[in-house]
Amino acid sequence: MGSPCIDVCRFDEATGWCLGCGMTRKNKKAWKKEKPVRPAILEALPARLSALEGLGQTVGKAAKKKKGDKRKGD
């Protein structure tokens, strides 16, 4: 089972969910060490990403494109 991680690794401060894949830091560690938890993690991700979008966050591959963006004047 491949990891849902898309190498964005930017986390929403309020939820702790990755803007790229929806996993938490704890989920990412568990994914590497505890194969039995993977299905439960995968099941939770679509709802998390939808919730993040509802909060106005850019998620998934679009968040990856924004990762290195810098605002002018900041």
Q: List pLDDT tens digits, range 20-70.
A: 999 999 999 999 999 999 999 999 999 999 999 999 999 999 998 765 554
Position 68 scores a pLDDT of 54
* Residues in contact with 69: Cβ distance below 8 Å, sequence separation at least 6, in sequence order: none
8 pLDDT exceeds 70? yes
Task: For residue 18, give the 3-state DSSP assignment.
Answer: strand
pLDDT of residue 23: 97
Q: In the prediction, which pLDDT does 54 show?
A: 96
The pLDDT of residue 74: 37
Q: Rounded to two decimals, what is the model's pTM?
A: 0.82
